[in-house]
Amino acid sequence: MQIDINPRNLIGLKALDLTGQKIGTVDEVYLDDATGVPEWAAVRTGLFSRDAFVPLEASEVVDGVLRVPFERSLVKEAPDFGVGRHLSPEQELQLYHHYGLDVPGVGSPASDEDMTFGRIAGSEG
């Protein structure tokens, strides 16, 4: 289910895995540059931990939390690209493969424009 709310409203939400276990807090949201659709959320997985990218396509907001349809362990094992900049096409492909998701435009090579993602930064401090 594609999230159809303002991506800025996702910042600061708790993120829970498919069993209801807390993953962390949404730190940033990454938008598809071509469509402006929210595609990925960077979730801070702990006070001294890192941000893990989670796909928003299959996620949903329920009762003020982001419900992610993956186990916490899979999210924590996601490739670490850091935050604060665009995801490259190669990084995004790695994320799709990590989560076992279909890559957009299957059957035809994806262009850089289709695969480049900007971000909406979270609150600073």
Residue 47 and residue 63 in contact, taking contact as beta carbons nearer than 8 Å: no
Burial group, residue 89, by CB count within 10 angstroms (0-12, 13-18, 19+)? middle
- According to the model, what pLDDT value does residue 8 have? 87
pTM above 0.85, yes or no: no
Residue with the two structure tokens 């931990």: 49
- Residue carrying the six token digits 């419900």: 67
The predicted structure's pLDDT at residue 19: 96
Write phi, then psi, for 41 (nearest 5 degrees).
-120, 140
| Rounded CA separation 92/79 (Å) | 10
Which pLDDT value is given to residue 67? 96
Higher per-residue confidence, 88 vs 117:
88
| Token pair belonging to 33 | 């540059």
How large is the average pLDDT for residues 50-79? 93
What distances in angstroms separate CA 62 from CA 14, 43, 74, 84, one per listed residue?
11, 17, 21, 27
What integer pLDDT is reported at residue 106 of this predicted model?
55
Q: Work out whether strand 22-32 and strand 117-120 pair parallel, antiparallel, or are unpaired.
A: antiparallel
Mean pLDDT of 6-35: 92
- 70 vs 106, which has greater pLDDT? 70
